[in-house]
């Protein structure tokens, strides 16, 4: 018997990269996982094929929907419930990174970023929360990244959206109490790009990548979050004590205190 056997998990932005890896991890532990994407059919199908090839105890199913469209996300949730009967875990993973100097930001760019990082999760949480409240149980989780404690002047809409998403989880923990537990995970850059862009951003901040998954911050070697760390914490929050609600777990090696 696997840990999440019989449970249904929905993960946004899960066609590829970190979202896909998180989806596969839950499927390995028995969950039926719906991987949401928008315009990434090829990547989503490839991730589903990986699950089939591995003969995972659970399974993956791709569902396309624009998370910034409330009608689209409600239709997606209705379709999942019609097919599987329930939604046990929702993970807000989708992000929109649009680097832009603050002085050059346009209303359209701000709206696009907040749509993916905040407005979309709000209305998706509303749709899923109603299902979970009827069930009498459920977990809504958000991946915030390092937005809560670090300044990134060229990513201000992203930082504001993700920070507000963490506050949204705190509010939903009360709004949906006691049936639904709502929590956040705030890791450092746990899924690094192959082109070195992540390390370049750190260097620009005066930080230097060090050995063994650490970064020098003001002369202190700080351990960086790994994908396995994020998966472990998400699984804990998806299956942990019901009293854990309205919290944010930082995975930053203590960086915030330096």
Rounded to whole angstroms, the maximal C-alpha distance in the chain is 55
Asked if residue 3 is part of any domain, the answer here is no
Asked if residue 183 is part of any domain, the answer here is yes
Cβ proximity of 129 and 140 under 8 Å: yes
In terms of domains, do 202 and 103 share one?
A: no
| pLDDT above 70 coverage of the chain, percent | 96
Q: What is the pLDDT of residue 205?
A: 75
Distance between CA atoms of 237 and 221, rounded to whole angstroms? 28
Q: Per-residue pLDDT tens for 43-83?
A: 999 999 999 999 999 999 999 999 999 999 999 999 999 99
Cβ proximity of 230 and 18 under 8 Å: yes
Q: How far is CA 66 from CA 71, 101, 149, 243, in A?
A: 9, 26, 29, 32
In terms of domains, do 15 and 116 share one?
A: yes
In terms of domains, do 219 and 234 share one?
A: no
Number of domains in the chain: 2
* Under-70 pLDDT residues of the chain: 1, 192-198, 210, 212
Cβ proximity of 11 and 34 under 8 Å: yes
Residue with token string 């995972």 = 56
Asked if residue 2 is part of any domain, the answer here is no
In terms of domains, do 155 and 213 share one?
A: no
In terms of domains, do 220 and 142 share one?
A: no
CATH of the domain at 12: 3.40.50.720
Cβ proximity of 141 and 92 under 8 Å: yes
Give the SS3 label for residue 53.
helix
Q: Which domain holds residue 209?
A: 194-224
Show the beta-strand stretches assigned E in 204-247.
208-209, 214-217, 220-223
Distance between CA atoms of 101 and 84, rounded to whole angstroms? 44
In terms of domains, do 65 and 167 share one?
A: yes
Asked if residue 61 is part of any domain, the answer here is yes
């Amino acid at each position: 018997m696997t840990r999440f056997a019989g449970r249904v998990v929905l993960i946004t932005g899960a066609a590829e990269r970190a979202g896909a890896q998180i989806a596969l991890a839950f499927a390995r532990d028995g969950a039926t996982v719906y991987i949401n994407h928008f315009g990434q059919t090829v990547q989503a199908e490839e991730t589903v094929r990986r699950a089939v090839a591995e003969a995972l105890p659970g399974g993956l199913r791709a569902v396309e929907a624009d998370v910034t469209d409330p009608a689209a996300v409600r239709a997606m949730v209705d379709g999942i419930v019609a097919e599987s009967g329930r939604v046990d875990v929702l993970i807000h993973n989708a992000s929109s990174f649009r680097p832009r100097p603050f002085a050059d930001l346009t209303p359209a760019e701000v709206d696009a970023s907040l749509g993916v990082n905040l407005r979309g999760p709000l209305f998706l949480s509303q749709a899923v929360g109603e299902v979970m409240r009827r069930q009498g149980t459920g977990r809504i989780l958000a991946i915030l990244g390092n937005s809560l404690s670090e300044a990134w002047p060229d990513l201000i809409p992203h930082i504001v959206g993700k920070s507000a998403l963490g506050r949204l989880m705190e509010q939903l923990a009360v709004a949906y109490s006691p049936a639904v537990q709502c929590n956040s995970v705030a890791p450092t850059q746990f899924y690094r790009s192959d082109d070195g862009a992540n390390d370049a951003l750190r260097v620009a901040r005066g930080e230097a990548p060090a050995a063994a998954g650490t970064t020098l911050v003001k002369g202190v070697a700080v351990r960086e979050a790994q994908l396995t760390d994020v998966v472990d914490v998400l699984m804990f929050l998806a299956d942990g004590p019901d009293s854990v609600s309205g919290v944010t777990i930082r995975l930053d090696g203590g960086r915030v205190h330096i």
